[in-house]
Amino acid sequence: MKISFTAIYVLWLREMKRFLRSWSRIVSALMMPLFFLIFLGLGFKGIMIPGIGGDKEYVHFLVPGIIGMTLISTSTIAGISVLWDREFGFLKEILVAPVSRISIVFGRIIGGATTSLIQAVLVLLISVGMGFKIHSMISFFLAIFFMILISFGFIGLGLIFASIMKDIQGFGLIMQFIIMPLFFLSGAIFPLDNLPKFLKYFSYLDPLTYGVDALRASLIGSSIFPLSINFLVLSFFSIAMIFLGAFLFEKSEI
C-alpha cells in the first residue's frame, strides 16, 4: 500500500494549526500537570526518595512522572479528533480522497505526537524553574526520544478506541478510566516499592511504568529497570498499538 507523504504532511500541518490557534487547549492541558508539580513538588520539598541519589529531592523524582502524565493524557485524548471529524463530515472527505488510509493514520499519529511532545517539553522547562536540573543535552535528547515512543504508543491506543466508538462523551469517559489507573500504577508520584506486592505485578504490565522509568533514567540517572528493557517494552508497545490502531481505522466505517 502506497504511503502519501504529502497527505501525512497536510494532516500534520492541520493538527499543528489547530493546536497553535487554540490557546485554551494548551493552557487546560498544562493545568493538571502544573498543579501536581506545584502542590506535590513544593509541598514535599526537601524530602529525599531512597534510591535516586542523596542530593536529589522529591521534585527530581516527580518531574519525569508528571511528564509521563502529560504524555498519556494528551496522547490518548488525541483520538477524540477522529470522532469530531467523523461527526462533522471531515473524516468522510479525507477517506474518499485518493490516498491510502495508512497515510491518514500516520498523519494523525505524527501530528498528535508533535503536540503531545510540545506540551511535555513545556512541563519540563517549567520544572527547571522549580529547581529541577537536567544533567546534559544528551540527557535532554534521550528523554525526547522516549517521550516520542510514549506518545506513539498511547496515540495508537486512543486511535483504537476512536475507531470502534462513535460517542464522543463515551470516548472521553473511557479514556479517563484508562488513564488514571495507568498513571497511578506507573510509579509516577511514588516509588513502586511502596505498593502492595499484588499491585506491583499490575505495575509491571503497565507500559507507562517503563516510560516513566526511562525518563527518570534519562533525566536523573536513576531507574528500576535497565534502559534497554525500557526501550524494548516501549518499542513493542508503540509498534503494536500503531499497527492495531491502523488496522482498526482501516476497517472502521465512515
The yes-or-no verdict on residue 4 having pLDDT over 90 is: no
Residue type (1 letter), 55? D
Which of 30, 34, 217, 27 is closest to 130 using CA atoms?
34
CA–CA dist 106, 219 (Å, integer): 29
The 10s digit of each residue's pLDDT in 40-84 is 766 666 666 655 555 667 778 888 999 999 899 888 877 777 777
Task: Indicate the range of 21-30, 178-187, 241-250 predicted with least confidence.
Answer: 21-30
CA 190 to mean position of chain CA atoms: 19
pLDDT for the residue numbered 128: 84
pLDDT for the residue numbered 252: 66
pLDDT for the residue numbered 145: 94
Question: Mean pLDDT in the chain?
Answer: 81
The yes-or-no verdict on residue 249 having pLDDT over 70 is: yes
The yes-or-no verdict on residue 215 having pLDDT over 90 is: yes
The yes-or-no verdict on residue 6 having pLDDT over 70 is: yes
- For the entire predicted model, the pTM comes to 0.87
Most confident of 14-18, 131-135, 233-237, 242-246: 233-237
Query: In three state form, how does the secondary structure of 190-231 look?
Result: CCHHHCCHHHHHHHHCCHHHHHHHHHHHHHCCCCCCCHHHHH
Cβ-count burial 70-91 (b if 16+ within 10 Å, e if not): bbbbbbbbbbbbbbebbeeeeb
The answer to whether 153 touches 186, Cβ cutoff 8 Å, is no
The 10s digit of each residue's pLDDT in 72-124 is 988 887 777 777 777 666 666 666 666 777 777 888 888 888 988 999 998 89
Q: Which has the higher per-residue pLDDT, 146 or 3? A: 146
DSSP calls for 64-77? HHHHHHHHHHHHHH
Overall average pLDDT of the 14-33 stretch = 78
pLDDT for the residue numbered 5: 75
| 30-37 own/partner pairs: CB under 8 Å, 24+ apart | 30/70, 30/119, 30/122, 30/123, 32/69, 32/73, 33/66, 33/67, 33/69, 33/70, 33/123, 34/123, 34/126, 36/62, 36/66, 36/69, 36/189, 37/62, 37/63, 37/66, 37/123, 37/126, 37/127, 37/130
The answer to whether 171 touches 162, Cβ cutoff 8 Å, is yes
The yes-or-no verdict on residue 160 having pLDDT over 80 is: yes
pLDDT for the residue numbered 177: 85
pLDDT for the residue numbered 228: 92
The answer to whether 179 touches 203, Cβ cutoff 8 Å, is no
CA–CA dist 224, 192 (Å, integer): 9
